[in-house]
Amino acid sequence: MKFIVKGSSPQIFEDWKENCRVINEPRWDMFQNPEKESVKEALLLDQGYICCYCGLRIENDPSTEIEHIKPKVECTGTDEQKAMDYDNFLASCNGSQKEPKPRITHCNNFRQNKHLVITPLNEKCESVFLYTSKGITISKDSTESIKKLIEEVLNLNATKIKNKREEILLALENDFATKSEEEVKEEIHALSQKINDRFKEMCFVSINFLQNTFL
């Protein structure tokens, strides 16, 4: 999970909601393109085109999903408009939902409506995890709620994402074993930057691993 600094909601989306309100409050089932595409694009720019949970590359296409921090089903009563609130949105990968069966889902599709004990909008979210060189995500302080988040809420050790992390981290382990502290810091700095609006896939995993292994 990477800390996300959210930008502002696209004007086209806010204008569309205002227009809806002439007749009725805007609802999720009314939300379509071009507004939906604009919202996805804004979320992707906020996130550097990586999934809000696992960090896999995502693009502005139908396989990228708009995820609700507060689940849609809980957006009722005074919270009704949270279902259509940009600040409640994140962009998630489709959690391997389209992979051939038997598939192991993760991220948005595994989570469904479960509660998030920490979200990507919390600046501490990156520091509660550790990653082994085998690509396994663990709770840094063995906290039960974070273990539950990893295993039962987001399934962050699902095969596809675990294998991808392993591939990235084994390469880093080999590359940086003989490098200086300065070089490790330079790499961390580089991984912290977007290039052409994009973070490197799973950059926060690499940063966390380099910090905890070599510094």
For Zn ion, the closer CB: 84 or 93: 93
The residue range among 4-12, 63-71, 93-101, 145-153 that interacts with Zn ion, by the rule CB under 5 A, is 93-101
In the complex, the smallest distance separating the C-beta of residue 54 from Zn ion, rounded to whole angstroms, is: 3
Regarding 53 and contact with Zn ion (CB under 5 A), the answer is yes
Q: What is the 3-state secondary structure (H, E, C) of the chain?
A: CCCCCCCCCCHHHHHHHHHHHCCCCCCHHHCCCCHHHHHHHHHHHHHCCECCCCCCECCCCCCCEEEECCCHHHCCHHHHHHHHCHHHEEEECCCCCCCCCCCCCCHHHHHCCCCCCCCCCCCCHHHHEEECCCCCEEECCCCHHHHHHHHHHCCCCCHHHHHHHHHHHHHHHHHHCCCCHHHHHHHHHHHCCCECCECCCCHHHHHHHHHHHHC
Regarding 149 and contact with Zn ion (CB under 5 A), the answer is no
For Zn ion, the closer CB: 35 or 90: 90
From candidates 4, 44, 50, 51, binder to Zn ion by CB under 5 A: 51
For Zn ion, the closer CB: 15 or 151: 151
In the complex, the smallest distance separating the C-beta of residue 5 from Zn ion, rounded to whole angstroms, is: 19
Q: Count interface residues toward Zn ion (CB under 5 A).
A: 5
From candidates 93, 153, 169, 205, binder to Zn ion by CB under 5 A: 93
Regarding 202 and contact with Zn ion (CB under 5 A), the answer is no
Regarding 172 and contact with Zn ion (CB under 5 A), the answer is no
Regarding 116 and contact with Zn ion (CB under 5 A), the answer is no
Regarding 58 and contact with Zn ion (CB under 5 A), the answer is no
Q: Residues in the site for Zn ion, rule: CB under 5 A?
A: 51, 53-54, 93, 107
